[in-house]
Structure 1
Amino acid sequence: MTLPMIAQDIVLVLKKAGLLLNHRAPRPDQTFNGHTTNARQVQTASLFIAYKGVSFDAHSALKDLQQNQSGLGFIVEQKEAFEALPQDVFACLVTDSREAWAWLAAHSHGNPQDRLRLIGITGTNGKTSTVWFLRQLLRTIQEPCLILGTLGVYCGEEKFPATHTTPDPDELFQQLALAVKKGVSWAAMEVSSHAIVQKRLGPLRFDAAGFTSFSRDHLDFHPTMDDYFAAKWQLFSQLLKPGAVGWLSHGIEEWLPPDAFTRGLHFYGPARSGRTMQKGDSHYEVAAMTLQSTDFSVTLDSKTWQGHLPFGADFAIANFTLALLIVESLLPGRVSADAWSHIEPVPGRFEPVTEAFAHGLAVIVDYAHTPDALEKTLHKLRELTQGRLWVVFGCGGDRDRGKRPLMGAVAEKEADVLVVTSDNPRTEDPETILKDILQGLTQSKHQAIVDRESAILRAIQGAQRGDSILIAGKGHEDYQIIGKEKFPFDDRKVAAACLKRRQAK
């Protein structure tokens, strides 16, 4: 439940944030019962926050709102809009309305971030896994945690749906307030580049942060890879508390700005000959791995953990290591390797469809939806496969078209048999998306089947004992977006049903 906002408090919040350029408050004690960025949801005595979005500039709605509602207040970021508002209404001119929204959302929910220890995870791939492992590691030491990200929102043992990797400010601070209400003192969240650029985080400052990986993605949103990295790097350059802990994957070193190495940040990665570890850095080393288990160790300075996890895949081990290092940095000496065997695999991340083992097959569902993630996942599955390696994948519609042929090329290089299909086509023609993917292929060892269920069935019926099938792109998602509608579709359930049909055949 949001708290009412008083005009003079709004001014103070915006001043504290460094966003306020000008304001007028005919009644400093004027109270607003809520705030909104949606002109269709404005009610009497509410605060309207206008910003210029990707496809709509809410400043254009100001005139109609003044005529149809009373008792309104306004936050705007255009000087001409501010000057055009009546002198007898509360109004603030700010440098960035989106950021103002985040600060005001935090205020209206009682600034829950001040009563939480916050962990932020960014990276192209690996955010979801790391946050998932953070929750479970903290649970093993009786430290309940709120997590926010692609898998949804978990508060302690309760789960809530999520709309974005990093929610909009109202949802974000509502969930943080829920954690405080339930007595949870930790919050770990995925920090997307979109959220940073769109200023959704407001006053959040993190006690610890991790950077998992960096590769091509979201170039439909960011102009260049440099812009994409710069957005993510703001988590470390602008959003950490003084003395905060920062862990960086060795794989991002080439992208780092020169001052990154003077910030007291630490690196982690696989043990490799020829790499010199600096004090405070960490490495992990796998002793044995199958599709269902991993024995490995993590070394931090003079301390080494050795344990067993009930799942496989290199990427999961890297992300588990990051989560372990963050918890150890914040709560030293509390983590025990004895608890690793109780850690659950991440839903939809290199997740085996267990029914396949009875057929002598391995069917793996994974969220890999970038060229880098697909390559790494296929490469690891190749190591664990005796027979042929199949891949069923597509690319999302209304997203970065440039990565489609790159993913086709990766799949052709790493797999024996390709079945190219739909992912979430959204408003694009699925056939067009498939054609974009096929431009990256040089051979004819592929099949193109638009219907995703038919594509999965084709691979499962065509595979022989000893073969592995990777179903990539959607992972944990239990829907498919066609046009603007969501239809039920879970790769894991569809694969299990197809395995039954294979048996019946």
Structure 2
Amino acid sequence: MKLESLIQAIPVKQISGNTNKEISGLDSDSRNIQQDFLFVAVKGTAVDGHQFIDKAIESGATAIVCEEMPENITPTTTYIQVSDSKEALGLLASEWYANPSRQLTLVGVTGTNGKTTIATLLYEMFRLFGEKAGLLSTVCNYIDEKAVPATHTTPDPITLNKLLREMVDVGCRYAFMEVSSHSADQKRIAGLDFDGGIFTNLTRDHLDYHKTVEAYLKAKKSFFDHLPKNAFALTNLDDKSGMVMLQNTKAAKHTYSLKTLADYK
């Protein structure tokens, strides 16, 4: 794919170098970089990818997406500066795999407990209806009936879009996925076109990462904040954070409950 075509998917601050070049792949891990790759320098929680720009170029990267322009510019390398390289990685990965989430009815499930159960039940139910469907979950990923081992609750953007592309290619019309708070906070789901979101519940969890319950809640809520208006947002009315999740969503709001009056009881 041409670099100039690929970077149309991201908001760019400035470009240094030639964009009329062919890109053979992209990655945010410098160890995976090959000849003519695009390297996305992401600031992670433990490691800053900007430290590995030179290593990526040595391995064959001809284009770099970064938040900070390096002091030493290589003349043959193209540098694309962005405000948020985490978000850029998600958008670029979606574009690289021809935006597979737009060709699926994609539903995300978030919450502390019950994500795997709900996503798996939906996947199994739709397949019992005779539909081809995909599943992205903590236990295992499925491309219709083909099992793919899972390494994270929500994979990195490149793996995520690769799996979604494989689902589309085998004829899947539906995909159900767990959306972890880590993935929402790290913008691993950036660029995905969700048709619906489901909230289960919120209890104290992952505070080693989020530090506070409020930050944990905000990470979950950001998933619903970014749902498009033609999507649905389904929340658990029995959980005290249930309606908080939907406060700022543009999606159509729906509720379910075991204890009180709701859209689905």
In the superposition, the TM-score normalised over structure 1's length comes to 0.50
Q: Give the residue type in structure 1 aligned to 2:220.
A: K
Alignment of 1:285-364 (within 5 A): none
Match of 1:14 in 2: 10
Contact 1:152–1:160 at 8 Å: present in 2 too? yes
Matches within 5 A, 1:134-173: 134-173=122-161
Match of 1:78 in 2: 68
2:264 to 282, 286, 292: 282
Structure 2: distance between partners of 1:95 and 1:119 = 28
Where does the alignment leave 5 or more consecutive residues of structure 2 unmatched?
none
The alpha-carbon distance between structure 1 residues 250 and 104, as it changes in their structure 2 partners (threshold 3 A), is same
Q: Secondary structure at 1:231's aligned position in 2? A: helix
The residue that corresponds to 1:417 in the other structure is none
Question: % of aligned pairs identical?
Answer: 32
In 1, Cα distance between the equivalents of 2:127 and 2:243? Answer: 33
Q: Which amino acid aligns with 1:30?
A: K
SS of the residue corresponding to residue 75 of structure 1 reads: strand
Deviation at 1:179, TM superposition (A): 0.7
Alignment: residue pair count? 264
Residues 87-236 of structure 1: pairs in structure 2 closer than 5 A:
87-236=75-224
How far apart in 2 are the matches of 1:144 and 1:63? 44
Change (3 A) 1:153 1:211: same
Based on CA coordinates, which of the two structures has the bigger radius of gyration?
A: 1
User: Match of 1:62?
Assistant: 53
| Structure 1 position 258, deviation (Å) | 9.3
Change (3 A) 1:182 1:222: same
Q: How does 1:366-405 map to 2 (within 5 A)?
A: none
Residues 233, 246 of structure 2: 8 Å contact kept:
no
Which of 30, 37, 40 matches 2:31?
Answer: 40
- Paired with 1:37 and 1:196, the residues of 2 have a C-alpha distance of 17
Deviation at 1:110, TM superposition (A): 1.8
Task: Output the TM-score relative to the length of structure 2.
Answer: 0.92
For the 8 Å contact 1:123–1:214, the answer to whether it is kept is yes
Letter of the aligned partner of 1:62 in structure 2? I
The residue type paired with residue 9 of structure 2 is V
SS in 1 for 2:176: strand
Deviation at 1:252, TM superposition (A): 2.8
Query: Where does residue 247 of structure 2 map in the other structure?
Result: 260
Return 5+ residue gaps in structure 1 as ranges.
Answer: 284-505
Q: Identify which of structures 1 and 2 has the higher relative contact order when contacts are C-alpha pairs closer than 8 Å and 6+ apart.
A: 2
Query: In the superposition, relative to structure 1, how do residues 118 and 262 fare at CA in structure 2: closer, same or farther (>3 Å)?
Result: closer
Whichever residue aligns with residue 41 of structure 2, its letter is A
1:245 counterpart = 2:260? no
Of 5, 17, 20, the residue aligned with 1:29 is 20
Q: Higher helix proportion, which one?
A: 1
Root mean square deviation, CA, Å: 2.1
